[in-house]
Chain A
Amino acid sequence: MIFKSSRRQLLALLLAAVAPLSFAQSNELSLLNVSYDPTRELYQAFNPEFSRYWKEKTGQSVTVRQSHGGSGKQARSVIDGLDADVVTLALAYDIDAIAEKSGKLPADWQKRLPHNASPYASTIVFLVRKGNPKGIKDWDDLVKPGVQVITPNPKTSGGARWNYLAAWGYALKKGGSEAAARDYVSRLLKNVPVLDPAARGATNTFVQRGLGDVLLAWENEAFLSINELGPDKFEIVVPSVSILAEPPVAVVDAVARKRGTETVARAYLEYLYSPVGQKLAARHYYRPIKPELADARDVARFPKVNFIRIDDLGGWQAAQQKHFSDGGSFDQIYGR
């Protein structure tokens, strides 16, 4: 009987498949950095640099593991139990949410590292197709009929929330009233054919699938797409006004304490502020907080932008409440 004779072989095969997967924990240190979507390349370059630094300094080997996704979704995962030693997310509110909902780090986390705990900054720019066929120069051009705008979903993506607030801030400044801002944003959202869940997905929609005339993107993401996919295909348009986006970093105290990684986790984040960290940030198209530490050639790539700050819009807690909570301005506008 075929079945009977092969039973033992099947069992042996199964054991052979499972055996090398034993869950033995090695003694070396490991960190989990839960980050948002466009930082993949930055941390891929930064992690080995930090491991080398830490090995030289203390003799300990440390492996840094990465997890990437939409900033809001990643924060949700940490709240639900993803064991992040450090979080490096797109905006302060998402780390606030972790502090508030899970209590895994204190509410004043943003004061523990210099510069609002943001070692690098970025802004929102427009990525358009080569030659700028629709003649897009500034925010007003985005609401013209026939222009398709690609931006991710602000419910899950941090970058999208910066996009949304940059647009809101621009209209507020120009129109001078809340009503003008709301009207501008609702006209803008009418030109959005698809809302991807995260920034990298939106970039792929624009770049790979060829959808849309303009991508509202992180400056670093826009530079990266040009770099990866050819300067002959896209160009960057810097609007007259944009928002200063400060992606913050924090140690998740409760997790680091449990895993015994508090010291190395703190050192990991502090290293982002070192010359090595600042150089790498600038090389991966993030605006370094201390530009004097980075290569002048990298820094020269960043155009001057008139910045609105999140504090001009009342800070993250207020902005989140007003625009992105359930029933907030985004729901009111997009639900219609």
Chain B
Amino acid sequence: MAGATTMHLGGNHAARFENKAATSETPLVKWTILAIALTFFTVFLLMPLIAVFVEAFRKGWETYVTALVDPDALSAIKLTLLAAAVSVPLNLVFGVAAAWAIAKFEFRGKQFLITLIDLPFSVSPVIAGLVFVLIFGAQGWFGSWLIDNDIKIIFAVPGIVLATVFVTFPFIARELIPLMQAQGKEEEEAAVVLGAKGWQVFWYVTLPNIKWGLMYGVILTNARAMGEFGAVSVVSGHIRGQTNTLPLHVEILYNEYMFSAAFAVASLLALLALVTLVIKNWVEHQAARSYRDTQESAS
């Protein structure tokens, strides 16, 4: 990944930079800045995270497990996994296609397409949810047609999946576009000159080049898909055991004075976030290494 690599190289550079007396800060400035950063980190990130786990286990291990194997909780876990399992592959295909088109070809309206891809980022999730209600709700554009054909979208699983796909739309494309643009299209052109067909070019040239960026995008998409609250809340209908995802289930438990259970389920989401972070770091590490390897073999 491009970002991680520059950071890595930058690290070496900074060390050399700081060794010279003329370019280094006084220890006071250095430690003050460090202290501010650490305080912020502790107060805003570490403490909430610890609080989630402390609260989750306040009433003991047994309450914790009971909260997670409750049928409503299990159905929320299943629905959350389903939403992620649909939105990740869909956005994978779309993201790669969009990034490929934008990075490797010139066409009219390219800038417009890039802006459009960013739309789910700039629109509030609640609005995103309401848009689907307006389109697919009983009073919406396709409402009567859907009712006549007995298709349920809003307040059912398809609506939740749709909303999730919408809010996670840009992650992969956004990750890949700068990467593919930076790489240029020389390698692909070389492959074509050597006689590769379209798909061969993609599998043997493009994909290996973007695989770490792609992985990174997938991880981000997955994390957001599982954690999305706003848009999903609007289209869910909040039917327990049917249309509740994990974040919605946390809210319900909290509102019913079952704080330990709420935090137990929240800790599941927090764990997911932690695992995501670990994988993300691993991916970045791998990306940096593969970049270094190619640099070395090139020189």
A153 to B241, CA, bound (A): 28
Interface string of B116-153 (1 = CB under 8 A from A): 00000000000000000100111110010001000010
Out of A4, A23, A37, A83, name the residue touching B157 (CB < 8 Å): A23
Is A77 touching B155 in the complex (CB atoms < 8 A)?
A: yes
Given A21-B78, A66-B239, A41 and B139 contact (CB-CB distance below 8 Å): no
The 6 A-B pairs of least Cβ separation, nearest first, read A81-B138, A80-B137, A82-B155, A228-B257, A82-B237, A67-B238
A21 to B245, CA, bound (A): 14
- The answer to whether A79 has its CB under 8 Å from any CB of chain B is yes
Given A40-B256, A65-B241, A20 and B137 contact (CB-CB distance below 8 Å): no
Is A14 touching B138 in the complex (CB atoms < 8 A)?
A: no
Q: Which of B72-93 contact A (CB under 8 A)?
A: 78-79, 81-82, 85-86, 89
Given A3-B207, A3-B208, A21-B78, A67 and B133 contact (CB-CB distance below 8 Å): no
Is A80 touching B133 in the complex (CB atoms < 8 A)?
A: yes
- The answer to whether A276 has its CB under 8 Å from any CB of chain B is no
Given A23-B157, A229-B257, A18 and B240 contact (CB-CB distance below 8 Å): no
- The answer to whether A129 has its CB under 8 Å from any CB of chain B is no
Binding site for B on A (CB under 8 A): 1-4, 14, 17-18, 20-21, 23, 32, 34, 37, 40-41, 65-69, 77, 79-83, 101-102, 200-201, 204, 228-229
Q: Which of B221-266 contact A (CB under 8 A)?
A: 237-242, 252, 254-257
Task: List the A side residues contacting B86 at CB < 8 Å.
Answer: 18
Is B78 touching A102 in the complex (CB atoms < 8 A)?
A: no
Binding site for A on B (CB under 8 A): 78-79, 81-82, 85-86, 89, 133, 136-140, 143, 147, 152, 154-155, 157, 203, 207-208, 211, 237-242, 252, 254-257
Given A80-B138, A82-B155, A32 and B207 contact (CB-CB distance below 8 Å): no
Binding site of A, secondary structure by majority: helix, strand, loop or mixed?
helix
Least CB distance, A101 to chain B, in whole angstroms = 7
Q: Which residue of B lies closest to A21 (CB)?
A: B82
A34 to B157, CA, bound (A): 17
Q: Which residue of A lies closest to B78 (CB)?
A: A21
Q: Which residue of B lies closest to A198 (CB)?
A: B255
Q: A67-B237, A77-B237, A80-B140 are in contact. List 18 more A-B contacts (CB 8 A).
A: A3-B211, A17-B81, A18-B85, A18-B86, A21-B79, A23-B157, A65-B239, A66-B240, A67-B239, A67-B240, A69-B238, A79-B138, A83-B155, A101-B139, A102-B139, A201-B255, A204-B254, A228-B257
Given A3-B208, A102-B138, A83 and B154 contact (CB-CB distance below 8 Å): no
A194 to B242, CA, bound (A): 32
Given A67-B237, A81-B138, A20 and B155 contact (CB-CB distance below 8 Å): no
With most chain B CB atoms within 10 A of its CB, the pick from A2, A41, A79, A102 is A2
Is B240 touching A17 in the complex (CB atoms < 8 A)?
A: no
Task: List the A side residues contacting B208 at CB < 8 Å.
Answer: 1, 3
Task: List the A side residues contacting B237 at CB < 8 Å.
Answer: 34, 67, 77, 82
Q: Which residue of A lies closest to B147 (CB)?
A: A81
Is A32 touching B239 in the complex (CB atoms < 8 A)?
A: yes
Is A204 touching B255 in the complex (CB atoms < 8 A)?
A: yes
Task: List the A side residues contacting B143 at CB < 8 Å.
Answer: 81
A20 to B82, CA, bound (A): 10
Is B256 touching A41 in the complex (CB atoms < 8 A)?
A: yes
Task: List the B side residues contacting A66 at CB < 8 Å.
Answer: 239-240
Out of A18, A34, A41, A65, name the residue touching B242 (CB < 8 Å): A65
